């Protein structure tokens, strides 16, 4: 017998599903009428509480009232990232492995990339609550490892564990919003969560150096509190699945996730080793070459062998959705790289302390959350996201130019960065909210969880690639400029010293120190210029989004 559409929604399935929406979407796709700029309403938002099932209404009330607790994971994730961004150079110097410092971020984003799509499917099998609890536990274990380790290898491993938890904490909460909150209101609630994230971003940097180990251990305590609160107090609608979970597990695309992370790791490892060791090294060449067959294997699994691929072709290769994901990838590649490498400029060129460098990231963090809140307000009032995203990404591209120009300014570099941060991060925040709504509005209720997971996949993937590529470019330009400015032996000595610690620069003779800083500044400016180019690519991709009017 067919299920009652109002009674079929549970913790393990999309809760705002509407057969009319799916039929309408199928019709649009079959006749090709869903064009960019169309004004089709989203049928799922036409439901009211009078016609919704009681468990949906109750679940919505529970999620709304529990939003601060659900946001605890997002707070921890942003707090952690702000600490790492502010003091990554100091960490690398303390562990005498400055050249490997980008892997502190890359390891986190790689495991987040691979795990986020799986969370979408696992939460359908085991429930949103169980997966959220698992994410808290993994993040807590990783935080404990970060606080106790004394080696770069141990820190990278702990960060990889954190990434598994961080990915789940962020995506499960977003999926819960998709389950219970009407589409037109979702931008506002996403803005609330981004506000929580901004508090974490702004509080982590200024005091990260002084209390870094304590803050990681504090994260363990907060994870424990959140786990207990969610486990005991959060009650979501439940239903026994018709298929036992043991039979559902083989349908989860674990092989695809593994191949994806191996592909990206091989590429980034090869680029990093080529930049820091040798492009002719067999290990460098082997890593880069291995990325090709791994990519082919990944595509084969996703298109031919996976029962339920975590990157389904009908979602990934949909023209409008692919444009959204492309924007997510390049936008996050640029802005994550900026956040990660701006403290490098503050500390090496402007001679700030790590705490001062962290505090200097506050304008960017506040601007981003202002943008997300502003985007939510505009979306709720207008119900339109296409032109909002076009204008926002264009403004972000233009606004980021002062950041790229800053390293070449003899004075006023800090003011230029502050101005650029405001002018670029505000519209980026608007775009983050608009892109999520654009994705959700262009899929059926049954595909919302996996489509959202794919969005986070491309964001995390972009973040990992962006940090690595910009870091590689900075190091290559630094080396070329040093070898052009100094004698070969002297240049190699400087390069080896910088690869270990920032302190090496401070102990150089004044004239030589000025030369090294000029070379470093040129490398950082090249990295910032790449970020501007990445934002420009994200802007172009927005023009292929499919517009819809959000009703309700």
Q: Are 429 and 197 in contact (CB under 8 A)?
A: no
Residue 52 has pLDDT above 90, yes or no: no
pLDDT of residue 344 exceeding 90: no
Q: Is the pLDDT at 258 greater than 60, yes or no?
A: yes
How many residues comprise the chain?
552
Predicted pLDDT at 358: 76
Higher pLDDT, 411 or 295: 295
pLDDT tops 90 at residue 537:
yes
Asked if the model's pLDDT at residue 84 lies above 70, the reply is yes
Spell out the SS3 assignment of 84-150: HHHHHHHHHHHCCCHHHCHHHHHHHHHHHHHHHHHHHHHHHHHCHHHHHHHHHHHHHHHHHHHHHCC
**Is the confidence at residue 7, as pLDDT, over 50?**
no
User: What pLDDT does 30 receive?
Assistant: 38
pLDDT of residue 204: 59
The token pair that represents 2 in the structure block: 């067919």
Q: Where do we find the tokens 């654009």?
A: 438
Residue 73 has pLDDT above 80, yes or no: no
Residue 169: predicted pLDDT: 85
CA atoms within 13 A on the CB side of 130: 12
Structure tokens that stand for 396 in this block: 């972000």
The H-assigned helical ranges of 252-385 are 254-276, 282-300, 313-316, 319-348, 354-359, 362-382
> d(Cα 235, Cα 30) in Å, to the nearest integer?
40
Model pTM? 0.75
- 3-state SS class at 487: coil
* Average pLDDT, integer, range 16-38: 38
pLDDT of 471 > 70? The answer is yes
pLDDT tens-place string over residues 291-312: 899 989 988 888 888 887 877 8
Task: Tell me if residue 252 falls in helix, strand or coil.
Answer: strand
Residue-level pLDDT at 170: 80
Burial of 313 per CB tally in 10 Å (0-12, 13-18, 19+) = exposed
**How would residue 421 be classed by pLDDT, with cut points 50, 70 and 90?**
very high
Q: Identify the residue with better confidence: 153 or 206.
A: 153
By C-alpha distance, which of 85, 109, 106, 83 is closest to 459? 109
Average the pLDDT over 374-400 and give the result.
90
CA dihedral 447, 452, 458, 459 (to 10 degrees): 170
Mean pLDDT score, 67-95: 73
Whether pLDDT at 151 is above 90: no
Confidence bin at 34 (pLDDT 50/70/90): very low
Query: What 3-state class would DSSP assign to 8?
Result: coil
Give the percent of the chain with pLDDT over 90: 20
What is the model's pLDDT at position 47? 45
Output the average pLDDT for the chain: 78
Q: At what angle do helices 183-204 and 152-180 cross, to 10 degrees?
A: 150
Residue 145 has pLDDT above 90, yes or no: no
Determine the distance from the C-alpha atom of residue 385 to the mean position of all C-alpha atoms in its chain, rounded to a whole number. Answer: 21
pLDDT in tens, 186-226: 666 766 776 777 676 666 555 554 455 556 666 777 788 87
Contact between 115 and 164 under an 8 Å Cβ cutoff? The reply is yes
For position 201, what pLDDT does the model report?
Answer: 65
Measured CA to CA, the distance from residue 431 to residue 385 in angstroms comes to 9
Return the SS3 of 41. Answer: strand
Interval 335-339 mean pLDDT: 91
Least confidently predicted of 8-12, 282-286, 321-325, 512-516: 8-12
Contacts of 138 (CB under 8 A, 6+ apart): 161, 162, 164, 165, 168
Q: What is the C-alpha to C-alpha distance for residues 155 and 347, in angstroms, rounded to an integer? A: 22
H or E element at residue 281? none
Nearest to 160 by CA among 145, 172, 147: 145
The per-residue pLDDT for 206 is 53
235-244, 270-279, 317-326, 484-493: segment of lowest average pLDDT: 235-244
Model pLDDT for residues 228-251, shown as the tens digit of each residue:
877 777 776 665 555 666 677 777
Rounded Cα distance, 96 and 102, in Å: 14
Name the pLDDT band for 27 (thresholds 50, 70, 90): very low
Angle between helix 102-126 and helix 319-348 axes, rounded to 10 deg: 140
**Are the CB atoms for 338 and 403 separated by under 8 Å?**
yes
Tokens 């695809």, located at residue: 256
Q: What is the pLDDT of residue 32?
A: 40
Overall CATH class of domain 57-239+249-253+307-486+520-542 = mainly alpha
Q: What pLDDT does 65 receive?
A: 65
pLDDT of res. 323: 93
* pLDDT at residue 38, as a whole number: 37
Per-residue pLDDT tens over the stretch 36-48: 333 344 444 444 4
Distances (CA, A) of 307 to 122, 254, 317, 524: 14, 11, 17, 45
Residue 426 confidence (pLDDT)? 95
Which position has the higher pLDDT, 7 or 471? 471
How sure is the predictor about 384, in pLDDT bands with cuts at 50, 70 and 90? Answer: confident
Q: State residue 550's pLDDT score.
A: 60
Tokens 């991709």 appear where?
Answer: 541
Of 341-355, 438-452, 478-492, highest mean pLDDT: 478-492
């Amino acid at each position: 017998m067919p299920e009652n559409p109002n009674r079929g929604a549970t913790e393990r399935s999309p809760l705002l599903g509407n057969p009319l929406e799916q039929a309408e979407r199928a019709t649009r796709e079959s006749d090709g009428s869903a064009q960019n700029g169309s004004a089709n309403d989203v049928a799922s938002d036409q439901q009211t509480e009078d016609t919704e099932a009681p468990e949906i209404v109750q679940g919505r009330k529970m999620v709304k009232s529990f939003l601060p607790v659900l946001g605890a994971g997002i707070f921890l994730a942003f707090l952690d990232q702000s600490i790492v961004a502010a003091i990554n150079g100091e960490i690398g110097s303390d562990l005498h492995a400055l050249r490997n410092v980008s892997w502190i971020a890359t390891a986190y984003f790689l495991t987040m990339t691979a795990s986020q799509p799986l969370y979408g499917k696992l939460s359908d099998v085991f429930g949103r609550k169980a997966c959220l609890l698992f994410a808290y536990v993994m993040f807590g274990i990783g935080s404990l490892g970060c606080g106790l380790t004394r080696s770069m290898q141990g820190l990278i491993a702990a960060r990889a564990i954190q990434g598994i938890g961080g990915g789940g904490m962020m995506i499960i909460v977003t999926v819960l919003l998709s389950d219970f909150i009407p589409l037109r209101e979702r931008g506002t609630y996403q803005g609330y969560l981004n506000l929580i994230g901004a508090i974490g971003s702004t509080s982590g940097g200024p005091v990260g150096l002084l209390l870094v180990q304590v803050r990681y251990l504090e994260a363990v305590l907060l994870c424990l509190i959140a786990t207990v609160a969610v486990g005991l107090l959060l009650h979501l609608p439940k239903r026994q699945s018709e298929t036992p979970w043991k039979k559902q597990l083989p349908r989860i695309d674990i092989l695809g996730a593994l191949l994806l992370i191996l592909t990206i790791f091989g590429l980034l490892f090869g680029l990093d080793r080529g930049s820091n060791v040798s492009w002719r090294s067999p290990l460098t060449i082997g890593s880069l070459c291995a990325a090709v067959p791994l990519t082919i294997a990944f595509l084969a699994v996703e298109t031919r062998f996976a029962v339920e691929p975590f990157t389904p072709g009908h979602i990934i290769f949909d023209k409008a959705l692919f444009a959204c994901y492309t924007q997510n990838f390049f936008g996050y590649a640029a802005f994550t790289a900026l956040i990660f490498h701006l403290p490098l400029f503050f500390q090496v060129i402007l001679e700030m302390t790590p705490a001062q460098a962290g505090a200097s990231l506050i304008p960017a963090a506040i601007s981003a959350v202002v943008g997300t809140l502003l985007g939510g307000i505009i979306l709720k009032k207008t119900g339109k996201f296409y032109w909002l995203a076009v204008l926002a990404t264009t403004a972000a591209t233009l606004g980021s130019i002062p950041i790229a120009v800053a390293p070449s300014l003899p004075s006023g570099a800090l003011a230029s960065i502050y101005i650029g941060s405001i002018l670029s991060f505000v519209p980026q925040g608007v775009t983050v909210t608009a892109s999520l709504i654009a994705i959700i509005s262009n899929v059926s209720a049954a595909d919302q969880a996996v489509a959202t997971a794919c969005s986070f996949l491309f964001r995390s993937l972009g973040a990992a690639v962006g940090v690595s590529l910009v870091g590689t470019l900075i190091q290559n330009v630094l080396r070329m400029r040093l070898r052009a400015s100094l004698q070969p032996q002297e240049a190699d000595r400087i390069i080896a010293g910088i690869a270990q610690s920032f302190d090496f620069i401070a102990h150089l003779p004044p004239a030589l120190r000025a030369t090294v800083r000029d070379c470093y500044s040129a490398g950082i400016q090249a990295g910032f210029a790449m970020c501007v180019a990445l934002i420009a690519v994200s802007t172009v991709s927005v023009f292929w989004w499919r517009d819809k009017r959000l009703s309700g």
